[in-house]
Structures are given as structure tokens and as C-alpha cells.
Amino acid sequence: MLREGLEKQEILKILSEKLKKDYSYKSGSILGSMCTEPFDFGVEVYMNYISKNLGDPGLFLGTAELEEELVAEIAGLLNDKNIIGTFTTGGSEANLIAMRIAKELRPDISNPEVVVPCSAHVSFDKAANLLGIKLKKANLDDNFELDLNHFESLINKNTCGVVGIAGTTSLGLIDPIEDIGKIVEDENIFFHVDAAFGGFVLPFMRYLNYKIPAWDFSVKAVDSITADPHKMGLGIIPSGGFFLRDSSILQKLGFEIPYLAGGNFKHFHIVGTRPGGTVIAFWAILKSLGINGFIEIVRECMENTQYLAACINEINGLKLATNPVMNVVGITTENNDSICKIDEKLRKKNWMVGKFEDFNLIRIVVMPHVQKIHLQNFINDLEKIVKELNIS
């Protein structure tokens, strides 16, 4: 560390030089990310409130109240006005909280197990590892849909929780939440839905008349949901969301920190100090965009998704892994050629896509920063690469 500080101008110059290495959303080259440029009014609001700490809500009563108001708004989107909720560092923390609740609600089980589809996000592996839970993974069928019979067969007397996904990481698919609900509804098994991605897409797709199966609190057996502002909510990183049907669980299982300056309270979080600015910003984003603003954003993402899907269908040697349900497109090869070489060549041309080797697919997430012109350029390059590699 320097003894004498540098001039601000000099520091800013160094930073802008160093950060040139970063890829930007605006350039369109980031095609495989579930994050995007936050909504600009949210950024403006965030900058005013960066020091708010929801880890000590007794000091920031106004911020805590805004968090409650925000949960109430989202409760409307998730179809149960009586839920409680809180904002986390992301989907991983929200899923970890859900897994902990599933385990703690069943102290009678000494070797707890949770059943997830094998398309579940890696955060469930992390949570299982940290909590000493055995994760049981249910197979997918040839269309990447959950094999419900296999899922059911993995449930036994040690099962404390099950997970369904509304917007899978690899393909944006929706698990049969109602069917999973029927399997567990009379059992003492916690049912968590991971809608980290889908949470701020699916409610708006309904307004656009897409047929979306029930996936939220309208399904009686669903106990909790992850839905992340910093994905399709256009929120500021880091902001995930955890929503819970039975508010009494907070009293039972919340952690207490008795010495806080603002006084005692109960919380589920893994982190202590917790950003309030991101929550205030998301409150402002929802107020500013309204339902119609989100509908327009989702409409454009879905139009671009359909455009991309149609283009992929035209390229000899490539095919869609499955028809996109939301704004995620999986691309695979027609004759089982490895997708890795395509991914490598795409990277050389600065197209940063997601690669899922297990499923032999590359993933494009058609986020709001992805414009049609970016997709046209991408398709041109992709077509050339497929020819160069003699994929047919």
C-alpha cells in the first residue's frame, strides 16, 4: 500500500485502463449470463443509499419498512399476499436458507435427504455440503424434462425436503410443480421452488398470454420460493429474494443477534451485514417500471428469443436442445458432435455463451441487454464456425 495517496484523477485513469479487460453487457458479447445492466433509475437511487445496513434493521427502520413493502408487492406476483420474505445476496443464499429450513423442521430425521431434479443449480450441492444433507438427484428424460416417477422413487422416510425449478439454469424449463406438490402435500416434507431466474419472468409472461403452468404459491404444497432481483428483475448486484408461506417459521428458526445497536430481531440470513441500498433500489425499480414496464421488457426478450430459435433451426448441423419456454435458448448439434469446439471458436470471436458439457449444449440467455442486432451478428459467426468445423 502507498504511503501517500494518489490524486483521484490518476486513480480513475488507472481504473478505466484496467477495467478495459472486462466484457460489457452493452457490447452484446455477453450472451450466457443471467445478469444484466440494472435499470438506470435503480442505479441512481442506489447511489444515494449505499450505506444502509439491513443487518441491523433497528437502525434503519425506514429501509426495513421498504423491504416489507417490497415483499408485499412481490407477494402479489407470487400469488399469496400473506407470505413473508427477505432479500439475500443472491439465489445461492436464498436456496441455502430454504435447505436449512427443510432440515431444521425435521429434527426427527438423523440422516436428512433432499430430492432435486438433476438440472438443479450448483447452489443446492453447496447447501447440501454445508448442511450435511444428502442430495438425491432425479433424472431428466430425453426432452430435458423431469422424470417424475424417478423423482418420486427417491423420496423416503429420510426426505426432509424436495425442490422444483421454475426456470432451470441450463434451459429455462419449468418443472411440474403441481405434480411434485401432489406427491408431497400430505407428507411432512418442505417444498421449495427455485425461481431465481423465472421469478421475474413468469408472472409477466402470463400477462402476455403465454400458457404458464402453476408454479408459485398458488400451488398449495409450495412452502418457499427463490426469486432474484439481480437476474430478470434488473436489480443491483447483489440481490436475491427468499419468500416463505408460513411466517411462524421465522420465530422458530430465525437466528437472533441480541447485541445489535438497533436491538434484537430474528433473521434467516447467512450474512450479517446486508445491503439495504439494493433493496431500496429494487423498491424504486418496481415503482418506476410498474407491471407494464416489466411486461414490455419480457415481451422484447421473448421476441428476440423466438428470433434466435428460428435462426438456429435454419443452421444445418445445429438444433435447439428444446423449444424455449422462457428467454433461455439451448443449442446442441444434430449428430452429437461435441459442442466444446463450437464454444471455443465462439469465445475467440468474443461471444461469451454458457457451455453445459453434461447436456452437450451451449446456452444463450436472452437478457434485456441482448438486442436483435447482436443476435444477427452472433448467428453469422455461428454459421461460419459450424461450416469451418464440418458439423452437419
Q: Name the CA dihedral angle for 91, 152, 103, 248, rounded to a multiple of 10 degrees.
A: 80
In the complex with ligand 0PR, which residue's Cβ is closer, 29 or 95? 95
In the complex with ligand 0PR, which residue's Cβ is closer, 216 or 337? 216
Contacting residue, 38, 57, 85, 90, with ligand 0PR by CB under 6 A: 90
Site for ligand 0PR in 246-265 (CB under 6 A): none
In the complex with ligand 0PR, which residue's Cβ is closer, 33 or 304? 33
In the complex with ligand 0PR, which residue's Cβ is closer, 89 or 386? 89
Residue 216 within binding range of ligand 0PR, rule CB under 6 A: no
In the complex with ligand 0PR, which residue's Cβ is closer, 55 or 90? 90
Cell of 205: 409472461
Angle, CA 117 vertex, CA 110 and CA 162 arms, to 5°:
40
For the CB of residue 131, give the shortest distance to ligand 0PR in the complex, in Å: 16
Contacting residue, 84, 98, 133, 196, with ligand 0PR by CB under 6 A: 196
Residue 197 within binding range of ligand 0PR, rule CB under 6 A: yes
Residue 224 within binding range of ligand 0PR, rule CB under 6 A: no
For the CB of residue 167, give the shortest distance to ligand 0PR in the complex, in Å: 6
* Residue in 79, 144, 174 with CA at minimum distance from that of residue 358: 144
* Window 120-149: contact mask with ligand 0PR (x via CB under 6 A): -x-x--------------------------
For the CB of residue 121, give the shortest distance to ligand 0PR in the complex, in Å: 4
In the complex with ligand 0PR, which residue's Cβ is closer, 32 or 277? 32
* Window 226-245: contact mask with ligand 0PR (x via CB under 6 A): --x-----------x-----
In the complex with ligand 0PR, which residue's Cβ is closer, 225 or 297? 225
* Only segment of 31-39, 51-59, 276-284, 325-333 that touches ligand 0PR (CB under 6 A): 31-39
* Only segment of 6-14, 84-92, 184-192, 339-347 that touches ligand 0PR (CB under 6 A): 84-92
* Window 151-170: contact mask with ligand 0PR (x via CB under 6 A): --------------x-x-x-
Query: Using CB under 6 A as the criterion, which residues of the chain lie in contact with ligand 0PR when the complex forms?
Result: 33-35, 90-92, 95, 121, 123, 165, 167, 169, 194, 196-197, 228, 240
